[in-house]
Structure 1
């Protein structure tokens, strides 16, 4: 399969995958809301301006394609009653994909959303993510679903607040931090080797750290400025979440990350798609 439509190409995790697919000489089309940004990032890609809420836009972008790559997310500012690309958006995408006889849907999910239902945890965003996986698997279209651990990029682009790495509560289990560059290579390899079969791939890096340990390593090897950690108690985050959608999101995702009992499950992914090569130390030094 050479002709791939990417939805979510300009996001933090969509960019490295799009770049890697273009460099691997796949025929890439992007459906984006900000065409100017996409043209700046990916001048070699075919770019269609549109919105996942609009069926006609999806149809226009999907014409002539063989496969889809979906890098979608529920934004921190979204409310449960809003339109969600991983909810109603997935419904539209699958419906059009069936109509146009798309051969494969590749989708970025997550490991941590599997915490849903553990220890009484229930969050509407994780319900949406679970439903997205179910809908894709029941679509009748061959699928590739990626379940990544925590991305190294989250330390710099999400946890870093000024000169601090913000943490919440106590991390109970180590996480197998993965660099998006390694993940992107695995996505490319999946499109090279898979034909009609469906696959679930756990995406994990070489090393596992609790979140405070990962922050300390990042601070040690990140040389552009001096950083320090700041830890907020969970009850404070929960209280702030009563008044802010963004803090409510932060509270729930941190609780899940702190308590999800992640174990190493990526051997099949490494065997089929390649072993990661980037350590957290190397990632911090390269920034």
Structure 2
């Protein structure tokens, strides 16, 4: 990619998924600015490439977003609701998207890229988190700003970073459906390729990895191929988590997301994505064997 490559602002650059995407954007030659709450602390504590320019900002501040967006072409949005948030909390993805769109208009941003989810389509229950994700999509699509939206399956990183506690990988319930698990690095490569495509039309991509596995199969694959120490896999009953969720936002979140992961049907839908953006290669076994 040449020196005239698009300039991109990344929101969520230090997260489990945002950091690998940021690295891949830099590797692809983009000029990357990361919007963070504290640039000094971020530089000291996160391993972002040294070429990434850090600016202070937050999605609840339209003026700050506008200032950060000026002089850039693309905004990449990777937001996540805190697992301890309640339905009455400020809705970071929907309210945040309103602010992002307003700032993007003011700063003459040419494209907004957004990390959404396949799980938000699950209709096994009504949940405010999925409602929020649907609202964010509506806000973006109705903004009139060209967009690139990614609908990923389950990320392999969630196993060591979210499900693992010490030497045990903790699951919830009995998974029935398989998902196409993908490594964030492979997804990041697809993001970099998607944002290099010419034209100003909006695009949507289903993001799926190379093999379908239930949550239990994925956890067992990770434990089998992880080389640093021996891991076990266990599961808590979903019913217990549902009851605990009546009193705890954390357990309420875990119950809902686990029920969706276990029961959401996921047919393969990434033909166009693989054709245009490349096929992901990293399996759960590959990822576990190289995970530090």
Normalising by structure 1, what TM-score?
Answer: 0.96
Correspondence 1:57 to 2:61: no
Q: Could you tell me how far 1:62 is from its partner in structure 2?
A: 0.6
1:182 alignment partner, SS class: helix
Identify which of 84, 90, 97 aligns with 1:90. Answer: 97
Moved over 4 A (4+): none
Distance 1:34 1:101 in 2: 25
Partner of 1:239: 243
Distance 2:78 2:203 in 1: 17
2:58 alignment partner, SS class: coil
Partner of 2:221: 217
Distance 1:136 1:283 in 2: 33
Gaps of 5+ in 1: none
Distance 2:93 2:166 in 1: 31
Q: Could you say what the CA RMSD is over the residues aligned between the two structures, in angstroms?
A: 1.1
Q: Could you tell me how far 1:215 is from its partner in structure 2?
A: 1.2
Identify which of 33, 37, 43 aligns with 2:37. Answer: 33
Identify which of 278, 283, 286 aligns with 1:282. Answer: 286
Distance 2:167 2:241 in 1: 20
Distance 2:217 2:182 in 1: 15
Q: Could you tell me how far 1:59 is from its partner in structure 2?
A: 1.2
Distance 2:91 2:37 in 1: 15
Distance 1:270 1:37, change over 3 A: farther
* 1:30–1:61 Cα contact (<8 Å) kept: no
Correspondence 1:252 to 2:259: no
* 1:72–1:85 Cα contact (<8 Å) kept: yes
- 1:203-214 aligned at under 5 Å gives the runs 203-214=207-218
| Matched residue count | 284
1:192 alignment partner, SS class: coil
Normalising by structure 2, what TM-score?
Answer: 0.94
Gaps of 5+ in 2: none
